[in-house]
Amino acid sequence: GHCVARHHGRVVFVRHSLPGERVRARITEGSPGDRFLRADAVAVLTASSDRVGPPCPVAGPGMCGGCDFQHVSLRRQRRLKGEVVAEQLSRLAGLEREVEVEPLDDEEGLRYRTRVEFAVSPEGTIGLRRHRSHDVLAVPGCPIAVPEVDEALAAAREDGVPEGIRAVDVVVPSGEADTVLVEVPADSPTPPIPLREEVAAPGGEVGMGVDARGFWQVHRAAPRAFVTAVLEAAGVRPGERVLDLYCGVGLFSLHLAAATGEGGQLLAVESDERAVGHLRENLAGQPGALVLPGRVDDLLGVPRKGRRRRGRPARSELLPPSADVVVLDPPRTGAGRGVIEALVPLRARRIVYVACDPAALARDTAHLLAGGYDLVSLRAFDAFPMTHHVECVAVLEPRGAVLG
């Protein structure tokens, strides 16, 4: 969410600015000997035509750290994100392509978020943290969240929070009648709180279980959009074997398993213990689905970084030697070279890579290119309006394969 500037030969990352603007910037981090500095644009001397007034009163310098782009027109936000994805693919994977970021179903990039974690200060203030700070700002509400979130925030402030609570999570699940408010202790784990989410997919609406603090897409339209995009990208045929890696509670797994049909197989891999419990329940009606609990790298026999051990770890015997389709949705750091190199020998006819970080996607794409795959399609979605984040769905196929 920063723009890159240079001052006396040193790089300065400037927040609250736009490319081409001339601003007065206040340094927020850095010392004279540092390679780069961080700064806030506190005055705009020459404004971009894409600059707009932020819809949130606490979106400016030194205030809430949640949104990066509230001062940017929505159309320019999406162009910026597309440019970042394209730049990373060019720089890290040697691929040149234009990237158009597709909007989801939201009104002007607002009122879309169904999950928000509000911080609680030692003094009991409930709000959001200032940018790169532990300070808690008592925000009046959150314009990118659905209205029920603001209502729950007001109720939490009125009731107050007990001592020892470090955060309050507000969740508005699509499959529940009530908003869920979770008080997060500072020094103990939060107990499981199962919720139900409803996902409208090409095959019809289905209900899925997920923990209140487990991973789920925060944009209310994202589950439907991503399931549709992944199913179209995967093109699973009846009787095929599919691997769904880093699968969470099975947002994609459930629909991929159904697509394999009778005689097909879906292997779903997830490491989070609570997510695995929900995954098993969500896939209970799919006889061809197998849940493999564990880390993807461990199951593939890929050594973990920073761990010393003799010899290469053993590959799980439960993982098949081949697969027709591989779907992976790794964390922000990406799958990594070791995992990608372990997937290449499966010779899947199609790999669908879901990415929330353009640089990680580009790095892993480069490894797949080296392994004999080509990037045949890429879609980008504006699942996080008003922020710099973007979600991508990439499709890769063996080089020389007949497309379709």
pLDDT of 148 reads 98
Q: Is the pTM for the entire model greater than 0.85? A: yes
Strand intervals (E) in 104-247 = 115-120, 126-129, 136-137, 165-171, 180-185, 194-201, 204-211, 241-245
pLDDT of 403 reads 44
In this predicted structure, the answer to whether residue 117 has a pLDDT above a threshold of 50 is: yes
Q: And the tokens for 244? A: 């769904």
In this predicted structure, the answer to whether residue 305 has a pLDDT above a threshold of 80 is: no
Q: How confident is the model at residue 307 (pLDDT cuts 50, 70, 90)?
A: low
Q: Which has the closest alpha carbon to 395: 365, 360, 356?
A: 365
Residue 366's SS3 state is helix
In this predicted structure, the answer to whether residue 203 has a pLDDT above a threshold of 90 is: no
pLDDT of 404 reads 43
Angle at 255 between CA 293 and CA 175, to 5 degrees: 90
Q: What is the DSSP string of 222-271?
A: HHHHHHHHHHHHH---TT-EEEEES-TTTTTHHHHHHHH-TT-EEEEEE-
Domains in the chain and their CATH numbers?
A: 1-51 (2.40.50.140), 83-106+196-304+312-398 (3.40.50.150), 115-191 (no CATH)
Catalytic residue among 56, 247, 356, 392: 356
Active site residue 67: no
Phi, psi (degrees; rounded to nearest 5) at 171: -125, 130
Using CA atoms, how far apart are residues 224 and 278, in angstroms rounded to an integer? Answer: 19
Residues 106-130: what's their mean pLDDT? Answer: 96
Question: Residues 60-114: pLDDT tens digits?
Answer: 999 999 999 999 999 999 999 999 999 999 999 999 999 999 999 998 999 999 9
Per the model's pLDDT, the better-predicted residue between 166 and 204 turns out to be 166
Using CA atoms, how far apart are residues 173 and 195, in angstroms rounded to an integer? Answer: 7
Residue 157, beta-bridge partner list: none
